[in-house]
Structure 1
Amino acid sequence: MNRFIHFAARTVRKSPALTTLSSFVNGQRLNVAFSSSDQYWRERYEKGGNSGEGSYGALSKYKAEFINSFVAEKNISSIIEFGCGDGNQASLFTFAKYTGIDISEKCVESCKALLGKRGYEFIVLEDYLADEVEEAFDLALSLDVVYHLVEDEIYNAYISKLFKSSSRYVLVYASNFNSFDPNLPHVRHREFSRDVELAFPDWTLVETEKNPYEKPHDSKVYGSFAKFHLFEKR
């Protein structure tokens, strides 16, 4: 689990009933009601929750090593991440220029305090969208976000913004199959590469990296059902 970007606040359909999801943070149980992706992630961070196990431990180190190597190899000078979360993953990056976007004001302020001295920039999503100036980055990142976009409107708007923000590469760390478990209402797996193929024919999926920590999506063992999917603009 990781984080969520909200692009269509006025169009989110609330669930008719609340579901309470529990997780453990620093040994303490964290209970957060779920009625929409927007509400869940805001409240999770406000209650002291973090971006999830995917942003910590071996998985975070694996992702950072892969991304840092890719950025260096391709001589990438500017990166934007949609869904930077609490900043723990970003703290492992070695970029010269990085912009992190997140829905949570609390996360953005924490990231500024933690990483601002690096010259990294962090912006609340609403403020980023209010700025009409569009900047094309060398690389747009999405890490553990896509499968948390359970509402179609938000998912479609997120994918659109992600691919329109880069002039060279888009790197998505996510699952890529269709599945939904009603007992986990904050997770919806999608075959997003097919949607990208249809909506953005000028982008090509050039590589799917095998994850050394791969696990079945319904398994309880440590690991991830996500993989890196690299898209390049033609």
Structure 2
Amino acid sequence: MELCPYGDDLWFWAMAVLNGTKINVVRDNLKMQSSFVDVAKSGALWIENAKWRNDWQIQNLLKFYPILKQRVIFDSNEYWEIRYKSHEDSQRLGASGAGSYGRLAIFKAKVINDFVKKHKIQSVIEWGCGDGNQLSLAQYPQYIGLDVSPCVIESVKRRFANDKSRAFYEVSDFLENPSSAELGLSLDVMYHLVDDENFKSYMRNLFTHAQKFVIIYSSNKDQPHTQHVRHRQFSSWVQKNAVEWKFKTMIPNAYPYDINKPNESSFCDFYVYEKQK
């Protein structure tokens, strides 16, 4: 009553976060109903809270429970699990996003398929396989797809159930009994690793479990963008922490980013690394 007298919803939210209770937004959860209450006479909390009271109450909660700020930091793993679970295909694009569909997907597939053929690659491991649409265009002899989302792993297992050359694992399960492949892939993942520790762990895994080559399709600059996008100059990490790997080539995007065509262009390019013998 002292911190949040007009915001029972804010209070319940804060208590849920403090107790580690997960909150899921239910689809189609809002239904308008007629009200028989004359709010002009009785008053209403939403009227009162519209007068900046929600802001005041949130500040009270954050000040009294400083751990709240730590608990509500963006979790990229959780973000993708929720996104894959709740995605609605309104633009004929899967939850993996525009980069795995249309001309961008075709461009990426051609570059990687040509590379696999030219270097006679027999095995590929991809860190962040997504919904499998990009993989449907791939020509890999053997493939392991990894993702942090249990939901999407179950989905791609069903999608490629009849293809014995493909195997899929949650990252945590794979690392309990890891293997390696000649080519390590990271496609449209790097700039989603907003947390520093997640980024470092991802980079170590990407290079540790590749035998000959690593291909990264991403931006390569330090620049924050949105909640689930953080551009990083990953090449600096490679230079400092994966010294046995040599930068081989950069393949520019055939469709560089165009603000007027966000679903048909990209700020990513291909970066190829080769392991020194």
Distance in 2 (alpha carbons) for counterparts of 1:34 and 1:64: 35
Distance in 2 (alpha carbons) for counterparts of 1:228 and 1:210: 6
Q: Which residue of 1 aligns with 2:120?
A: 75
Give 4+ residue runs of structure 1 displaced > 3 Å after superposition.
Answer: none
SS at match of 2:161: helix
Say yes or no: does 1:192 pair with 2:234. yes
Q: Pick the aligned partner of 2:87 from 48, 63, 80.
A: 48
The amino acid across from 1:85 in the alignment is G
Q: Pick the aligned partner of 1:158 from 185, 191, 202.
A: 202
Distance in 2 (alpha carbons) for counterparts of 1:91 and 1:34: 34
Q: Please, which moves more after superposition, 73-82 or 48-57?
A: 48-57
Q: Pick the aligned partner of 1:88 from 119, 133, 139.
A: 133
Say yes or no: does 1:123 pair with 2:169. yes
Report deviation, 1:220: 4.4
CA contact (8 A) 2:77 2:149 kept: no
Report deviation, 1:136: 2.7
Q: Please, which moves more after superposition, 147-156 or 219-228?
A: 219-228
In the TM superposition, what are the counterparts of 1:93-112 in structure 2 within 5 Å?
A: 93-112=138-157
CA contact (8 A) 2:248 2:272 kept: yes
Q: Which residue of 2 aligns with 1:213?
A: 255
Q: Relative CO higher for 1 or 2, CA cutoff 8 Å, sep ≥ 6?
A: 1
What CA RMSD, in Å, does the superposition of the two structures yield over aligned residues? 1.5
CA contact (8 A) 2:81 2:152 kept: no
CA contact (8 A) 1:169 1:231 kept: yes
Report deviation, 1:149: 0.1
SS at match of 2:186: strand
Q: 1:186 to 1:34 in 2, by over 3 A?
A: farther
Distance in 2 (alpha carbons) for counterparts of 1:168 and 1:206: 12
Q: Pick the aligned partner of 2:266 from 224, 229, 232.
A: 224
Say yes or no: does 1:61 pair with 2:106. yes
Distance in 2 (alpha carbons) for counterparts of 1:215 and 1:206: 24
Q: Which residue of 2 aligns with 1:201?
A: 243
Q: Identify unmatched segments of 5+ residues in structure 1.
A: 1-32
Q: Identify unmatched segments of 5+ residues in structure 2.
A: 1-71, 89-94
CA contact (8 A) 1:77 1:97 kept: yes
The amino acid across from 1:202 in the alignment is E
CA contact (8 A) 2:125 2:180 kept: no
The amino acid across from 2:250 in the alignment is T
Report deviation, 1:48: 2.4
Report deviation, 1:53: 0.3
The amino acid across from 2:171 in the alignment is L
Counting aligned pairs with the same residue, the percent is 39
Distance in 2 (alpha carbons) for counterparts of 1:82 and 1:109: 16
Scaled by the length of structure 1, the TM-score of the pair is: 0.80
Distance in 2 (alpha carbons) for counterparts of 1:225 and 1:66: 16
Distance in 2 (alpha carbons) for counterparts of 1:136 and 1:185: 32
SS at match of 1:158: helix
Q: Pick the aligned partner of 2:190 from 131, 146, 153.
A: 146
Larger fraction in strand? 1
Q: Deviations over 1:108-143 (max 9, x none)?
A: 111111113121001111211222xx4231000000
The amino acid across from 1:166 in the alignment is A
SS at match of 1:117: coil
